[in-house]
Amino acid sequence: MLIGHSAQAVTYDSKLNPDKLAELAQRDEFKSVCQVNGASGVLIAPNAILTARHVVRGRGKKTWAKNGGRALKIDRIVEHESVDIAILILAEPIKDIPATPIYRGEAEVGMTVWKVGYGLWAPLVQGHRKMLKRGVVPRAITNNIYEANQNDVYYKYDPDGAGHTEFEGGTAPGDSGGPLYAEVDGKWFVVGVTSGPRNGFYADARLSTKAAWIDDSIRGDASDPTPKVAK
Do 122 and 15 share a structural domain? yes
Read off the pLDDT of residues 2-40 as tens digits, 9 standing for 90 and up: 333 333 334 567 778 878 888 999 999 999 999 999 999
Domain total in the chain: 2
What are phi and psi for residue 22, nearest 5 degrees?
-70, -35
Do 160 and 69 share a structural domain? no
Q: Place 69 in a pLDDT band, splitting at 50, 70 and 90.
A: confident
> Would you say residue 227 lies in a domain?
no
What are phi and psi for residue 18, nearest 5 degrees?
-60, -30
For residue 222, what pLDDT is reported?
A: 59
Q: What is the DSSP letter of 5?
A: G
Read off the pLDDT of residues 132-144 as tens digits, 9 standing for 90 and up: 555 568 889 999 9
| CATH code assigned at 152 | 2.40.10.10
Do 203 and 90 share a structural domain? no
Residue 155 to residues 15, 29, 49, 224, Cα–Cα distance (Å) = 20, 22, 24, 28
> Would you say residue 228 lies in a domain?
no
227 burial class (0-12, 13-18, 19+ CB within 10 angstroms)? middle
> Would you say residue 152 lies in a domain?
yes
Instruction: Say how far apart CA 50 and CA 37 lie, in whole Å.
Output: 13
Do 105 and 95 share a structural domain? no
- Give the mean pLDDT of 190-213: 91
What is the residue-wise DSSP string for 46-98? TTEEEE-HHHHTTTGGG--EEETTEEE-EEEEEE-SSSS-EEEEESS---SS-
Q: Which amino acid is at 7?
A: A
* Residue-number span of the structural domain to which 61 is assigned: 31-99+211-221
Kindly state the percentage of the chain with pLDDT values over 90.
Answer: 62
Kindly state the percentage of the chain with pLDDT values over 70.
Answer: 82
Please indicate whether residue 220 or residue 214 has the higher confidence score (pLDDT): 214
Instruction: Say how far apart CA 185 and CA 200 lie, in whole Å.
Output: 31
Residues 206/149, Cβ–Cβ less than 8 Å = yes
